[in-house]
Amino acid sequence: MKDDIYLNKLGKKIVDLRTKKEISQNQLAKNIGSTNTHMRRIERGEVSCTINMLRKIAEVLEISISELVDIS
């Protein structure tokens, strides 16, 4: 698979998990020390994340990093 397909799948997973937890995009961005614009781009699959950012996102969503990146 191409990288952009993985980024899109990851972005959609973050959106799904975030909405299930009733966390706004702005709240998630703030809690991970990012901006709403950057979070939006991650969720759209436009940019990749560092491992530290993935760790922070997983922490806020109360899941493990492995659960977060399990997008096969």
Nearest-angstrom CA–CA distance, 47 and 38? 8
Q: What is the pLDDT of residue 36?
A: 96
pLDDT in tens, 30-41: 999 999 999 999
pLDDT at 1: 52
pLDDT at 71: 84
Structural contact between residues 24 and 61, judged by C-beta atoms closer than 8 angstroms: no
Residue stretches of the chain with pLDDT short of 70: 1
pTM given for the model:
0.92
- Per-residue model confidence (pLDDT) at position 67: 95
